[in-house]
Structure formats: structure tokens, C-alpha cells
Structure 1
């Protein structure tokens, strides 16, 4: 399946005055030097070709063709400078519209039939120095008997997201193997290295969710609501929030993924938002069910605190 688009320009009365047919006709006039020859090549009656050109000229207020006299063919037609400008503008408009249509289709129909699902990068490369122990140990540390990273992965619905875990640690890779979760290695220690590796592993996507691996109380319902928000508004940057305060995870639309892949240094997507009013204006928030969905595990005290939260819930 694929989307299709026919881009038309309408007059003030709502009637079509320019579109795929007229622009093809004009381009052939430019190639063949004759309106009659262009009509014949398109299998179009000359009277219809003449009407299309005259209707467009009437709507735009300028001539599109000029008669030429003499020559081996006994005369013909050539395009005016205004017609050449119109063709260029229309083709640019058509290309841009097709790109926007394709992006919207890939987002709104992600996971439907042969359309790829949205991507999801789980950031699991941090050393966890504040947690102590071996590098990456906090991600495999048990929280109420279940590893922190495993609880995070449980919130990511497989019917909506293609998930890749990006790490530098053998213990994390081993856990992913046991869970059947896709895992790739980051080439460096920086956040931008992790993001770049995840995006490269996923390939082209209509959007990508970035989740920290140490966010174990994230809820599947919130993730589904975030995906729903992007589907409703394919250019939105969707963030999970608590009482209006935005946090992680963040779901980025397709037109931002290239910029995210080219970030440098130990920075994430917030660096892309900082100082960019247009991007900041596209941020939409989804309210979490409680504040603990946004909590991450930096220290062993954090882990103990989340243990108590889970105990209260049960």
C-alpha cells in the first residue's frame, strides 16, 4: 500500500485551474515547441488543450504560451517566462506536498500492514557511577525481583514500537539476550553516541521514542497515549509530563531524526530544543498516571524508594 496525491490549484470559485494535467501539457509544449504536438503526444484533443491553457491564463492573469511564426514546422508555441516560473513553483509545491503526505502516512499508519512501526531507542549506555558497583549494574539490579531494565522494556508495546536497546555493557546485552530484546553496542560513551547507534540500527522511521533504561515504573498506557498523540499530529514532539512538567520519554517525529543523529557531545534531544522556538512550539505533553512514571534510578536510594512505591501499590 502507498498514499497518493494529486495537487491542484483552485480558483476563487472552487474550480480547478491548474494541476497535473496542465503542468504536463506546458512541459511538453516547452519540449516540442507546439501546443498541438503536445496535445497529440498526451492523447488529448487540441480543443481541450487550448481550453486548459486559456482557463489557467484567465485565473493567473498572464499568458502561458506565445505563438511562433515560420520555421520548418510552419510555426508553433513557446512558453512565456511566467509559464516557466509557474512550472517550477508548482513542481516544488508538488514535491513538498508528496513528502508531507508520505511522512503523515508513515506516522498515521505505522504498524499497519506493511508500514514500519515507530522506532524506540532505549538508552542503556550510562556507567551509573552514582549507583556504584560495576558499570551498568543498576540496569540489571533487581527491583521487586525484576531487573530495572526489564521493567522499562515491559512498558514498550511491541504492536506499536520496534525497540532497540543501546548499551556498552556485557551484563545489559546478556539480559537482552535472555529477554529476546534487540540490542546493539554504542561506539562511544556519550549520549549522542547512543542516540546515533539506535537510529542507525532502526533505519528510516516515521518517528522514534527515546527512553532511558532506568525508568522502571513507566506505564504502557502512557506510551500508547504518546504514540496516539503523534498519530493525531504527525509533526508533534511528544513528551511525558507530570502536572505540566515535561520529562522523559520523548517521541520525536521523522523530520527531526536527522538532526538528532548529528548531535555531538554528551547531549540528548533537549539540546535540539534549546533556543529553537519552532521546535519548542511543537511540543505536546501527555500526563502520566503518577509522578513515579517519570522517576529514574540514579542511586541505590532511588531504587529503594521505588521498591517502597511498588510495595504500596500491591
Structure 2
């Protein structure tokens, strides 16, 4: 399944004055040197071809063809400079519209019928030095008997997201293998290395959710709300929030993923937003069910607090 587009230009009264038919006709006039020959090649009556050209000329206030005299065919028609410019502008408008249509379709129908699902990169490469123990060990630490990372993954709906966990740690990879979750290795220790590896593994996507692996009280309902917000506004940058305070996860639309893949250093997507008002204007917040959804695990005390919050939930 794929989207289709017919780009028409309308006058002030809503009547079509230019579109796929007229532009094709003018291009053939340019190739054949004759309006009549162009009409014949298109299987169109000459009177209709003449009407299409005249209607467009009246709408734009420009002459689009001019007669040529003599020659072996006894004369014909050629395009004016204004007609050639009109064709060039219309084709550029058509290409741009098709790209926008394709991106919107991929986002609005992501995961529906045969449209690819959105991507999801789970960031699981940090050493967790403040937590102590083996590098990456906090992701395997039990929270009410279930590893932190496993609880985070449980909030990511498989019918909406294609998930890839990016890590540097054997134990995390082993957990993902047990859970049947795709896992790839980060190319380095920096956040940008993790993001880039995840995006490369996912390939082309209409959008990508970035989730920290140590956010174990995230709820599936909130993730579904993030996805719903993007599918209703395909250019939005959607963030989970609590009482208006933006946090993680963040769902980025397709036109930002190239910039995210090109980041360097240990800063995440926040650097794209800082000082870029045109992107900040696109941020939409989705309110979490409670503040604990936004909490991550940096220390053993954090884990203990989340244990208490989980008990209160239950």
C-alpha cells in the first residue's frame, strides 16, 4: 500500500487551473514543437488541449505558448520562457509535496496493515558508576524481582514499535537474548555512539523513540500516547512530561533522525533543541500518569525509592 498525490493549483473560486494534465501537455509541446502533436500523443482532443492552455494563461496572466511559422511541418508551437519556468516550479512543488506526503503516510499509518512500525532505541550502554558493581549492572538489578531493563522493555508495545537495545555489556546482551529482544553493540562509550548504532540498526523509520534502559516504571499507556501524538501531528517532537516538566522518553520525527545520527560527544538529542527555536516550537508534551514514570535509576537509593513506588502502585 502506498499514498498517491495529484497536485492541483486552484483559482480564487476553487476551480482547477493547473495540474498534472496541463504540465504534461506543456512538456510535450516543448518536446514536439506542436500543441496538436502533443494532444494527439496524449490521446486528447485538440480543442481540449487548447482550452487547458488558455485557461492556464488566463489564470497566471502569462503567455505559455507562441506560434512558430514555416519549417517542414508548416509551423507549430513552442513554449515561452514563462512556461518553462512554470513547469520547473510546478515539478519542484510536486516533488516536495510527494516527499511530505510519503513522510506523513509513514508516520500516520506506522504499524497499521503493511506500514513499517516506528523505531525505538533503548539506551543501555552507560557504565552506571554511581550505582556501583559491574559496568551496566544497574540494568540487571532486580526491582521487585524483575531486572530494571526488563521492566523498561515491558512498557514498549510491540505492535507499535520495533525495539533495539544498544549496549556495551555482555550481561545486557544475554538478558535481551533471553527476552527475544534485538540487541546491538554501541560503537563507543558516548551517548552519540549509542544513538547512532541504534538508528543504523533500525534503518529508515518515520520516527524513533529514545528510551533510557533504567526507566523501569514507565507505563505502556504513556508510550502509546506518545505514538498517538506523533501520528496525529507527524512533524511533532513528542516528550513525556510530569506537570509540564519535559523528560524522557522522546519521540523524534523522521526529518530529525539524520541530525541525531550525526551528533558527536556525550550529549543526547537535547543539543538539537537548545538554542533552536524552530525545533522547540514543535515540541509537544504528553503527561505521564505519575511522576515515577520519569524516574531513572542512578544509585541504589533510587532503586529503593522505586521499589516503594512500585509497591504503592500495586
Identify the TM-score tier after normalising by the shorter chain: over 0.9
Q: Per-residue displacement from partner, 1:72-124 (whole Å, max 9, x unpaired)?
A: 22111111111111111101110111111111111111111211000000000
Kindly state the Cα deviation for residue 275 of structure 1 after the two structures are TM-superposed.
1.1
Kindly state the Cα deviation for residue 199 of structure 1 after the two structures are TM-superposed.
0.6
What CA distance in whole angstroms lies between the structure 1 residues aligned with 2:205 and 2:265? 24
3-state SS, counterpart of residue 127 of structure 2:
coil
Find the counterpart in structure 1 of residue 299 from structure 2: 299
What CA distance in whole angstroms lies between the structure 2 residues aligned with 1:91 and 1:196? 34
Kindly state the Cα deviation for residue 71 of structure 1 after the two structures are TM-superposed.
1.5
Q: Per-residue displacement from partner, 1:14-45 (whole Å, max 9, x unpaired)?
A: 11000000000001111111111111111111
3-state SS, counterpart of residue 26 of structure 1:
helix
Find the counterpart in structure 2 of residue 191 from structure 1: 191
Q: Per-residue displacement from partner, 1:199-248 (whole Å, max 9, x unpaired)?
A: 11111111100000000000101000000000110110000000000000
How does 1:235-314 map onto structure 2 within 5 Å? 235-314=235-314
Find the counterpart in structure 2 of residue 212 from structure 1: 212
Find the counterpart in structure 1 of residue 2 from structure 2: 2
What CA distance in whole angstroms lies between the structure 2 residues aligned with 1:266 and 1:231? 30
Kindly state the Cα deviation for residue 13 of structure 1 after the two structures are TM-superposed.
1.2
What CA distance in whole angstroms lies between the structure 2 residues aligned with 1:129 and 1:84? 64
Kindly state the Cα deviation for residue 313 of structure 1 after the two structures are TM-superposed.
2.2
What CA distance in whole angstroms lies between the structure 2 residues aligned with 1:55 and 1:313? 68
What CA distance in whole angstroms lies between the structure 2 residues aligned with 1:277 and 1:215? 28
3-state SS, counterpart of residue 165 of structure 1:
strand
Q: CA RMSD in A?
A: 0.7
Runs of 5+ in structure 2 lacking a partner? none
What CA distance in whole angstroms lies between the structure 2 residues aligned with 1:236 and 1:299? 33
What CA distance in whole angstroms lies between the structure 2 residues aligned with 1:55 and 1:122? 56
Find the counterpart in structure 1 of residue 41 from structure 2: 41
How does 1:106-145 map onto structure 2 within 5 Å? 106-145=106-145
What CA distance in whole angstroms lies between the structure 1 residues aligned with 2:311 and 2:289? 17
3-state SS, counterpart of residue 6 of structure 2:
coil
Between stretches 168-177 and 301-310, larger displacement belongs to 301-310
Q: TM-score, normalised by structure 2?
A: 0.99
What CA distance in whole angstroms lies between the structure 1 residues aligned with 2:32 and 2:236? 46
3-state SS, counterpart of residue 297 of structure 1:
coil
Runs of 5+ in structure 1 lacking a partner? none
Kindly state the Cα deviation for residue 70 of structure 1 after the two structures are TM-superposed.
1.1
What CA distance in whole angstroms lies between the structure 2 residues aligned with 1:287 and 1:113? 29
Count of residues paired in the alignment: 314
What CA distance in whole angstroms lies between the structure 1 residues aligned with 2:190 and 2:197? 11
Find the counterpart in structure 2 of residue 172 from structure 1: 172
Q: TM-score, normalised by structure 1?
A: 0.99
